[in-house]
Structure 1
Amino acid sequence: RRRRRPTMPSVRLLHVLAASVSAYHVPPPLGTARTRAAVHMVANLPKQKTGEVQWGELMDITGNRAISEASYAQQFEELFSREELHTSTPVAKPSNAAQSREPTAFRVAFSNVFATLMRSPFSKNRTWSSTDIGRLTYFAVAHLFGIGALFCFSWRNLISAFLMYVATGMGITYSFHRQLAHRSFRTPKWLEYTAAYCGAMAMQGGPIEWVSDHRYHHLHTETPLDPHSSYEGFYWSHLGWMLDEELYLRRCSDRRNVGDLEKQPFYRHLQKRYLYHLAAHFGLVYAVGGLPLVCWRFLGISLLLHVTWFVNSAAHLWGRQDYATGDQSRNNWWVGFLAFGEGWHNNHHAFEYSARHGLGKRQFDITWILIATLKRLGLATNVKLPTEAAKRRLAIRET
């Protein structure tokens, strides 16, 4: 029998650091039995969409879960060489193994994802539009005002900012995401519109825009048609995708996927008059607490922006995969804690219609607690959950 070579202390230390930073679980290396089994299961999943999607009342927005032989970079070059992108037609997921062989690919730290940033913000072949500059300015101003909150502390401002943070944060997770984007449950219209208005005050865009972008993310997860694919690295999936209007419009300009919202006057008005409502919101904040409370409000907005962005970035790079989805979605415990239960992201991509994301016993999901409470009160109906048979069918088993 061959003797195992002792591990150097420095190597053991690196393993410990990797395990702690990689958010709960380091994914298995490429080519392991677990990964091969997952790919095999994905290739045989039913209900894959390979033709053009007829949006209409469609809510099952899972794209093509099969894995192609092409890398992300190859798919990107092929798709974006076309004059017109068919964003209603999903393509197969890129091969991470093929992507790892790309000359420009780099392995994201503590992750199995090999990424290629297809267009750097400093690239000569891109132009910063007025929208790009405006968004960057907004992000910078929000963070600067947020830092200012640290110099005008008061318990009143802290409590007020926290309450607004929770209300708008739940407006994103409960309303924009689970109710509007995925129709995981129904509520009376007065409650639906109230929650959606809270989500709009998070300053992450109007409901029509937010929901449309998210539905494209699910239809095209990890492919070059995904607005924020993890195959372009942490920067792009976290923030960069919002600072390149040209690529964003090519991927997400077609709003036919939100016809269910656009036919409702409330959402059309909120999207069209969005800036007026934000101005009224900050006018009220200033009237109540002056400039100090405005600073604290921006601190809450900045934190919530990053928490939401972590779902797009960290929850597609670091964590555990319990279900075969064909993409890089992960169950990430610390994102789950910060993002009101949204960090159980592999569960979500496996069962996107589910009102509950924390499917495990230790997967705390405060958004689900709210939905379950409303259900008991008779205010939430048609609450969708995956069956045990569905969970067993997609579960990744060690082989």
Structure 2
Amino acid sequence: MAPSTASTTTADVDNIVPIDLNIPDNYVQHTLKTTKARPPFQWSNILNELNFLNCAILTITPVIGIIGAIYTPLQWKTALFSVFYYYCTGLGITAGYHRLWAHRAYNASVPLQYVLAAFGAGAVEGSIKWWSRGHRAHHRYTDTELDPYNAHKGFFYSHMGWMLLKPRRRPGVADISDLSKNPVVKFQHKYYVSMLLIMGFGVPTIIPWLLWGDARGGYIYAGVLRLCFVHHSTFCVNSLAHWLGESPFDDKHTPRDHMLTALVTVGEGYHNFHHQFPMDYRNAIKWYQYDPTKWFIWSMQKLGFASHLKVFPDNEVRKGQLTMQLKKLRRQQDNLAWPSDSNDLPVISYESFQEQAKSRPLILIGGFIHDVSTFVDEHPGGPHLIIKYIGKDATTAFFGGVYDHSNAAHNLLAMKRVGVLHGGMPHGLDEKLIPPSQRLKIAKYTELSSPYASSAAYSDGEGMLG
């Protein structure tokens, strides 16, 4: 998992040009067409497919931890320290690697940067430069072939398969020129292996040994097993957070929001919000949502170690939420039956209406002719009130003259339209003629912009009868 530690000279840093400065506009399609992917994975060729370093780290570590735990009693002090150190190294990834360096969601003082870089190294997930480069590619090319942990390739692949196997193709280009100029990032990259050993295993072994004489327990529980938990906690951001939960801000891609994911990822579980607003220092925007990383960054600001905490405009966040709510309502709306559009109904003269009413119960209300044959016996006021208006205009009686009918009555009546009276509607009833359920009916952009759009899609009532 550790990348190359090749150093960069000062001159190189000063002249670094963003790697994505001159990429073509159609970069993704261009890359997919012009670069050849590795052949599909085959079990028969598995030895040539594995990344042995990552396989060793991700398989040997838990084996050592489990065997060690069997033969090493767990002291309560060691247990508490292990949980504490888990959060320290976890925050090194979430508050450091992720929100500070990969997304630049806030500014951190130099001392805080070194602390986060050290604890991040203790999580053994590669250097800041390597980790951030992959994560920026993930955000830029989410769910495509250029996404290094593409969720469409399956839960296991996005969780850890992408590290165990050699990639089918290189991740998409992502600029990290800003990180190449950062002295803390350069320091950690240069001394990453040493920092990994010290922070990943040395510190969690030495502290329990010096303070309460449990070096072995510290190594097994705070070192090895803690490392396993940190690994899979981070991996869940790439897998579980793209599989479990809802999409309250955007459903274009796979990221999801779920409290369970937040609990196992040190607060990174509100992933749909994060992918929609990646520069926001928060992952959870509600006070009750679990996001210790947000609380940590906020606390560092209060203590003077962090500043310029970026927050996406609340108005735009709420637009995202409203968009998804409207899309959900639109799907519900599309599953309902609605009245026939006036343009689809036959135009009938008053004389023809009266003649047809002799053979079936037709009533005229607000310029529309309604067939009430299925409702005569169901009318709450008694069938006689409907029968007396067959072949007649019941507009005044329906709109409050006899009874000010409910929204449900208006909606039901509209479903019984069978024709439009020649000459149109009576004056002054424009708004009343639209059933309440349709006044707020959600229209697609294409429906609103098309000159042939159904008049029922509008909420202002204009043009109902054409």
TM-score range, shorter chain: 0.5 to 0.7
Q: CA deviation at 1:79?
A: 5.4
* Residues 285 and 381 of structure 1: CA distance in aligned 2, closer, same or farther (over 3 Å): closer
Q: CA deviation at 1:326?
A: 1.5
SS class of match (2:49): coil
The residue number in structure 2 matching 1:99 is: none
2:122–2:197 CA contact under 8 A, matched in 1: no
The reply to whether residue 235 of structure 1 matches residue 161 of structure 2 is no
The residue number in structure 2 matching 1:207 is: 128
The residue number in structure 2 matching 1:128 is: 49
The one of 127, 139, 142 equivalent to 1:221 is 142
Task: State the distance in 1 between where 2:135 and 2:96 align.
Answer: 13
The residue number in structure 2 matching 1:4 is: none
Q: CA deviation at 1:125?
A: 8.5
2:118–2:195 CA contact under 8 A, matched in 1: no
Moved more, 326-335 or 383-392: 383-392
**AA in 2 matched with 1:279:** L
**AA in 1 matched with 2:155:** F
The residue number in structure 2 matching 1:294 is: 219
The one of 23, 34, 37 equivalent to 1:82 is 34
Task: State the distance in 1 between where 2:242 and 2:268 align.
Answer: 12
1:228–1:241 CA contact under 8 A, matched in 2: yes
**AA in 2 matched with 1:251:** P
SS class of match (1:247): coil
The reply to whether residue 341 of structure 1 matches residue 267 of structure 2 is yes
1:226–1:251 CA contact under 8 A, matched in 2: yes
The one of 293, 297, 313 equivalent to 2:239 is 313
Task: State the distance in 1 between where 2:61 and 2:251 align.
Answer: 36
5+ residue gaps, structure 2: 1-16, 330-466
Which structure has more relative contact order (CA 8 Å, sep 6+)? It is: 1
Task: State the distance in 1 between where 2:285 and 2:306 align.
Answer: 19
Superposed CA RMSD in Å reads 2.8
Cα displacement string for residues 256-306 of structure 1 (whole angstroms, at most 9, x for unaligned residues): 621111122332232232112222332444443433321111111101111
State the identity as a percent: 28
The one of 149, 170, 173 equivalent to 2:69 is 149
Q: CA deviation at 1:309?
A: 0.7
Q: CA deviation at 1:359?
A: 1.5
Task: State the distance in 1 between where 2:282 and 2:149 align.
Answer: 23
The residue number in structure 2 matching 1:392 is: 318
2:280–2:310 CA contact under 8 A, matched in 1: yes
The residue number in structure 1 matching 2:389 is: none
The residue number in structure 2 matching 1:304 is: 230
Task: State the distance in 2 between where 1:56 and 1:363 align.
Answer: 37
**AA in 2 matched with 1:294:** Y
Task: State the distance in 2 between where 1:330 and 1:146 align.
Answer: 32
Q: CA deviation at 1:157?
A: 2.1
Task: State the distance in 2 between where 1:219 and 1:349 align.
Answer: 10
1:333–1:344 CA contact under 8 A, matched in 2: yes
The reply to whether residue 278 of structure 1 matches residue 183 of structure 2 is no
* Structure-to-structure mapping, 1:1-399, within 5 angstroms: 55=18, 80=32, 82-83=34-35, 119-120=40-41, 122=43, 124=45, 127-128=48-49, 132-147=51-66, 148-152=68-72, 153-247=74-168, 250-251=170-171, 257-281=175-199, 282-287=201-206, 288=209, 289-296=214-221, 297-324=223-250, 326-395=252-321, 396-397=324-325, 398-399=328-329
The residue number in structure 1 matching 2:360 is: none
Task: State the distance in 2 between where 1:379 and 1:269 align.
Answer: 20
**AA in 2 matched with 1:312:** N
2:102–2:136 CA contact under 8 A, matched in 1: yes
Give the TM-score, by structure 1 length. Answer: 0.67
Q: CA deviation at 1:325?
A: 5.1
Q: CA deviation at 1:57?
A: 11
* Residues 319 and 194 of structure 1: CA distance in aligned 2, closer, same or farther (over 3 Å): same
* Residues 202 and 119 of structure 1: CA distance in aligned 2, closer, same or farther (over 3 Å): same
Give the TM-score, by structure 2 length. Answer: 0.58
SS class of match (1:127): helix
SS class of match (1:257): coil
The count of residues paired between Structure 1 and Structure 2 equals 294
Q: CA deviation at 1:126?
A: 8.1
2:263–2:269 CA contact under 8 A, matched in 1: yes
